[in-house]
Amino acid sequence: MQHKKALRTDIAVQNRIADYIKPVIIAFLFLVSMGVNAQTKPISLTAKNTPIKTVLN
């Protein structure tokens, strides 16, 4: 009888671990996909005595 109870406890622990690991894996995959789609060309800008509004446009 104790074996069945221990087995249920082990399954519950595994389910809790899985509940924590799934979001971590999803976040990791999301971050990796963001890196793949990131812009690869560098952007440079030179502006002297120019209002920020003009530079941002």
45, 55 contact by CB (below 8 A) = yes
Average pLDDT over residues 5-23: 77
Count of domains in the chain? 1
What is the length of the chain?
Answer: 57
Give percent above pLDDT 90 in the chain: 7
- Sign, CA dihedral 28-34-35-37, equals positive
Which tens digit of pLDDT belongs to each residue from 20-39? 899 999 999 888 877 666 56
Domain of 20, in residue numbers:
2-56
Confidence (pLDDT) at 6: 56
